[in-house]
Amino acid sequence: MRLSHLSLTYFRNYARLELNLPPGVIVLYGNNAQGKTSLLEAVYYLATSRALHATSDRQLINWLAKDDPIPHARLVGEAETQQGKKRIELTLLTEKTARGSRLKKEIRINGISRRVMDLLGHMTVVLFLPQDLALVEGSPSLRRRYLNITLCQTDPDYCRAVNQYEKVLSQRNALLRQFQEQGGRGDRSLLTFWDEQLAQHGATVVAGRYRFIRELEREAREIQRDLSGEHETLRLRYQPGFDAAAATDGQMSFDVADMGVSTLPQLPPKEITKRFVAALHACVSRDIARGMTTIGPQRDELRLLVNGHDLGLYGSRGQNRTGVLALKLAELAWMREKTGEWPILLLDEVAAELDHYRRSYLLERIGQAEQVILTTTEPDLLPAETLVDATRWRVTDGTIDTALAS
């Protein structure tokens, strides 16, 4: 798949941009703070409706639009995919309300209004960022976000379930806080409805993550072995916040690769749901005391292990970089297999981030991709093979000069 046209209005430091994009490798180069990463973010946003790392959607709207009556940003992408042409229009509006302002997203796909959730899967992307290192070294919420964004791009059922789960979870938590404030008194049967709902959506989320991590591990293990000269074995350990396969207290973990430990894959969704409900019942007093739901996928954790040692705890910088690269390349292979086509690849500053060997390995693996958009402050650091047929555009202060050949 590839992006053939991109149009931006008031997105980050792009006041206005109309860009036709060719297939193959596109190198965006230029000094710092010119808009290279912002362009990748625009493509990523069209695919996922998510900003990069922890930034809020509001930050995406150009500062110049701040004083407009209705400040807004608009992105339009046209993609060529195996399912035909896709035109994705996304508008971000800040609406004034009595208590300040509210952000609204409007989405059209091929001219038809859609919900935000329906955006995912139309345009698939895999993004490599210097900040990816935080996937190994950062908080568990980053890894859950990673699981959600990747899975949502290919699995609509998962996406629906995870969205519903979050809604139901906040309802249940609100009710738990009420009980907490009443010193534990109140009609606990009110929870039954939410427990059922939570368990049902939660079961889909848990099963989806389990399957994904297992498949991802298979790919990532081989890549890590290549990258480390056969020295390192990478494993992904899923630690579910509710472990349907173990006891009902939800605190046990299991290794995804170790099929003997977990019976989760054999469990039908109905059975997972049943066990989840039972576990919620079993910990209701604790949940009320804390005013929140203490088991479930909102507490899931994914750990990366090399030769049995947890990378987040013991890995060297270099090992962690290799681990993250293996994970991202595995994601790419996984996505190709699921969708039957190359996603659009977005590579931010990989030349500066990776050493020569890892960089060459990465660029070789993605050599056949339909479209790669990569940014760099120093194009000379890229291998000659990558540059030879590449389109090179200079980015300066929110404009892209497509006339310059080099």
Ligand X SMILES: Nc1ncnc2c1ncn2[C@@H]1O[C@H](COP(=O)(O)OP(=O)(O)O)[C@@H](O)[C@H]1O
Question: Where do contacts with ligand X occur on this chain (CB under 6 A)?
Answer: 12-13, 30, 32-38, 59, 61-63, 395
154 near Mg ion, judged by CB under 5 A:
no
Nearer of residues 83 and 396 to ligand X, judged by Cβ: 396
Share of the chain residues as helix, strand and coil, in percent rounded to the nearest 5? 45, 25, 30
Angle in degrees, CA 295, 300, 301, rounded to 5? 140
Helix (H) or strand (E) holding 18: strand 14-20
CB of 143 to ligand X, least distance (A): 24
13 near Mg ion, judged by CB under 5 A:
no
CB of 42 to ligand X, least distance (A): 10
Nearer of residues 32 and 189 to ligand X, judged by Cβ: 32
Q: Dihedral through CA 60, CA 66, CA 68, CA 71, nearest 10?
A: 30
CA distance 219 to 223: 7
CB of 181 to ligand X, least distance (A): 40
Nearer of residues 71 and 312 to ligand X, judged by Cβ: 71
CB of 5 to Mg ion, least distance (A): 23
293 near Mg ion, judged by CB under 5 A:
no
38 near Mg ion, judged by CB under 5 A:
no
Q: Dihedral through CA 258, CA 329, CA 359, CA 378, nearest 10?
A: -140
* The entry of ligand X, Mg ion, none that residue 61 binds, CB within 5 to 8 Å by partner kind: ligand X
37 near Mg ion, judged by CB under 5 A:
yes
Number of neighbours of residue 325 by Cβ within 10 angstroms: 25
Nearer of residues 61 and 205 to ligand X, judged by Cβ: 61
Nearer of residues 1 and 373 to ligand X, judged by Cβ: 373
CB-count burial class (<10 Å; 0-12, 13-18, 19+) for 324? buried
* The entry of Mg ion, ligand X, none that residue 63 binds, CB within 5 to 8 Å by partner kind: ligand X
Cα Rg of the chain (Å, integer): 23
DSSP 366: T
Site for Mg ion in 98-137 (CB under 5 A): none
Judged by the rule CB under 5 A, the positions of this chain that interact with Mg ion are: 36-37
